Amino acid sequence: MLGRILQPFPGPNRERPPEAKSAAERARQKADSRDEPAGDAVVKKKIEKQIREVLGDRVRSVEVRVSGRNVLIVAEATRFWQKRAVRRTLETLPALEGYRARIDIDD
């Protein structure tokens, strides 16, 4: 009986097709890509890829900001009891070595 209660909750589809993005989202992405130097963008993509590989469906949303040697990661855990595990996993990412990382977990 507990097996049915404790089954993971299927979340909303996180991946939308490219044509489903609104004009505001496309404009924001275009502005973000112009503001970031090429090196910061590469580091950002590397960190985002590692987060997707390591955490998978344990995070609802992740935002990575890179500015020189500073990295800010804002994540939202899928379940409130996963917040501590998500934070610890993010703190131990190999891609963050050599950077000053700040990690914020939203509710």
Q: What is the mean pLDDT of each run of 10 residues along the chain (107 residues)?
A: 61 55 65 66 93 93 93 94 94 92 91
pLDDT at residue 90, rounded to an integer: 95
Fold classification of 25-106 is Alpha-Beta Plaits (3.30.70)
Would you say the pTM of this structure is higher than 0.75?
A: no
C-alpha to C-alpha distances, 97 to 17, 18, 31, 65, 93, nearest whole angstrom = 33, 32, 28, 15, 8
Domain ranges of the chain: 25-106
pLDDT at residue 26, rounded to an integer: 66
Residue 66 burial by Cβ neighbours in a 10 Å radius (0-12, 13-18, 19+): buried
The dihedral formed by the CA atoms of 92, 98, 99 and 105, expressed in degrees to the nearest 10:
0
